[in-house]
Every structure is written in structure tokens, then in C-alpha cells.
Amino acid sequence: MPCSVILRERTSSDAGLPGTEGACSARGGGAMSTEKRKREHLAPFKDTGVPARKATTWLECVHLVHQPLPELALDEVDISVTFAGHPFRAPLFITGMTGGTEEARAVNRTLARVAERMGIGFGLGSQRAMVEDPTLAETYAVRDCAPNVFLAGNIGGVQLARLPMATVQDMVSRVQADALCVHLNPAQELVQAGGDRDFRGVASAIKEAVAHLTVPIIVKEVGCGVSREAARRLIDLGVRHLDTAGLGGTSWVGVELLRGGRDSDPDLAAFWDWGIPTAASVLEVAGLGLEVIASGGIRTGLDAARAIALGATLVGVAAPVLQAYFLGGEALVQARLEAIVMGIKQAMLLTGSRDIWAFQKAPKVLLTPLLEWVRQRGGNE
């Protein structure tokens, strides 16, 4: 595929920018560096991952009020939801993590099979690799083993701004996605050797994608959260689905610093815990009319329940799923997700909530520092 098909014509303002060189090659140049980066991004999750150093999600600051007379049976608790017009049996989404390598192909197919069985959503990792090298498309292919799963494709905001919409639509269609995640990751890119440094044009590209693509657009962060101001701007662009991906889980700034051997640089490492904690980000965007996925540091069913109680429709999980995959394969992935589902149901029963709508109306108490954040930032009005 010639470069003119993949990337818009470079302007003088693009000259020397990381990420614009060698986007077309026969498994060389940009494609090889992207594939190598994808392998390196998977590596930490075979061990402990790369969590935030001191920051937490602040979900521990959400205290759900116990009801000792729930008058419910656990089997009566209904955790089904609808997101982007698609029914989910449980409010879970395996957020996009990988693609572009043979190892990633095995991971994606395993996770998609589990998502299909459980009636939850599944997201692919960035499809940039398959745009640069179409032969890598097979590493993202999961429809044959998960024909009914809610499947989200994935592309970076900067790449979206440089790609013709026809190419993006083809990328979505080739994997038969139900939605496209556009990830925003300026903090990660700024500390990544060779990462993007110019983020102009992303907003207009999102607006164009919303208007012209045949699937819904889910705009997501990758661990730094989304502010109310950003959410309102996205609404003005036509976006109706958002993944907050807040601070407190995997630090992709940390991932890049470790990859580049620069984690001892104090000026760069100062940004390891940069961002808006997950609970604060959910509250920032709640009540704006968006369908919200809360992700970033969700480790247990109680974490997930607290995020839903704050207003999220779905909860996204990534690192715990990958770690389960590398520890015990498909069986452990399903067991980990089923434990999270059970934790959500138990929290709902213990608050006397029969369904998600009732759960979000159930009483809760916010503790500091989350409460102080809410006081300083005001409400969503």
C-alpha cells in the first residue's frame, strides 16, 4: 500500500515530527519500530505491570452506604446495561491493550472468546501497526471466534488526524468493529523517545470521524483521566461515548520511561503520576449526557461498583486481565472477570439495589481527598 494512501500529505509544519517518518514500509522502518514497541508494551504485564508510584484511583474515597435489610436475593440483582446501543450482560469492557504481533494475536483471540461467553465488551489495541503494515491485520482478527462480542477498534488521536477517513473506515471494517476508540495520550507521547510532539488537528479529526464513520466513536485517555472541560469540548464535536481511563492504574508514562531506561531522570519521572484520579475523572464527566466507561486501576468488583455508583455505564479493565492471561491463560482470565462481576453484584445487593439505575441512586459518601476535589471543582452544572 503506497504511503499516499496511508498518510495525508505532509505539510511544512510536520517536518521532523516524530511519528510522521516511515509510516509505510515492507515490515521495515516505521512498521518494524511500531511492532517492536507493541512487544515491549506487553512485556511488563508478564510480571507486576507498571502501576502508579504514589497516586491512587481515589475509588477508596467512595463509601457505599450499607443496607442490612436489602430484601433481595443475589440472583435477582440485574447488572445488564446498554452501551452504544449494544446490550451487555455485565457492565464490563476489556479495554484495548495490544495488537500488531503474533503474541498479541493469541492474546486478542483469547480475551475476545472470554468476552463473547460473558456478554461483555472487548477492545483491540492501537491498529496503527496494521495501517503501517497491512499484513499485521490478522493479529487483530477476532470475529471468527467472537462473532457477537461488542468489539472496539483503536487508533491514536494524532494518527487519526493524519489518516484519510477512507483509510480509517477500512481499518474499522477489516476487523468488523462495532465502535472505534480514539485514544488521547499526550503525556505518554511526550516522554516516549520518538513520540509525538504535535497534537494539533486532533479535535477536528474527531469531529470528522463522528460525522463520517459508520460506527460510534469512543474517545479515551490512557491513564491520565478526562476533565470536565475536555468532555464538554468533545460533546461539542459530536462525541457521545467516553472512556475516562484515569490515574491510579497502569502508568503509561512509567512504561515509556522504563522502556527508554530514563526512569531515573527526575524531571521526566516527576510525570509518572500525572493526571486526574479515576474517581475524580468519572465525577468530572458524569451528568453531561455521555455514556461513560470508567477505567484506570480497576482491580476488584468493589472498585468497579464504586465507579458505577459515581455514574459510569461500563467499567474498563486491562492490566488485571493481561496478568491473568500470562499467569493462567483463558481459564484464569474468565475466573478473574467473573470475580469482578460477582463483586459488583454483591455491592449492589449490600446497598439494596436491584439494578444499575437503582444502584446509582443509592446513598454514598465521598471522603477526602475526593471530596475536596469535588468542592474545588464544583458540580457539573
What pLDDT is attached to residue 17?
Answer: 29
Q: pLDDT, tens digit, for every residue of 298-329?
A: 999 999 999 999 999 999 999 999 999 999 99
Is the per-residue pLDDT at 9 higher than 80?
no
Sign of the four-CA dihedral 242, 244, 250, 253: positive
- For the chain, percent helix, then strand, then coil, each to nearest 5? 45, 15, 40
What pLDDT is attached to residue 6?
Answer: 31
**3-state secondary structure at position 180:** strand
Cβ neighbour number for residue 35 with a 10 Å cutoff? 21
pLDDT > 90 in the chain, percent: 83
Between CA 227 and CA 95 the distance in angstroms is 20
Confidence of residue 38 (pLDDT cuts 50, 70, 90): low
Asked if 254 contacts 272 with a C-beta cutoff of 8 angstroms, the reply is: yes
Question: Model pTM greater than 0.75?
Answer: yes
Is the per-residue pLDDT at 98 higher than 50?
yes
Confidence of residue 73 (pLDDT cuts 50, 70, 90): very high
Task: Determine phi and psi for 93, rounding to 5 degrees.
Answer: -140, 120
What pLDDT is attached to residue 303?
Answer: 98
Helices (H) and strands (E) in the chain, counts: 16, 12
The pLDDT of 2-15, averaged and rounded, is 32
Distances (CA, A) of 368 to 80, 102, 164, 308, 330: 31, 45, 46, 19, 39
Q: pLDDT, tens digit, for every residue of 324-381?
A: 999 999 999 999 999 999 999 999 999 999 999 999 999 999 999 999 999 999 865 4
Confidence of residue 32 (pLDDT cuts 50, 70, 90): low
User: The domain 37-370 is classified under which CATH number: 1.10.645.10, 3.20.20.70, 3.40.1580.10, 3.90.1200.10?
Assistant: 3.20.20.70
Distances (CA, A) of 122 to 112, 140, 165, 324: 6, 12, 23, 16
Cβ neighbour number for residue 161 with a 10 Å cutoff? 21
Cβ neighbourhood burial of 379 (10 Å; 0-12, 13-18, 19+): exposed
Closest CA to 246 of 288, 218, 282, 292: 282
What pLDDT is attached to residue 117?
Answer: 98
- In the chain, where the domains are located: 37-370
The pLDDT of 131-148, averaged and rounded, is 96
What pLDDT is attached to residue 44?
Answer: 72
Cell (9 digits) for 202: 486532533
What pLDDT is attached to residue 33?
Answer: 65
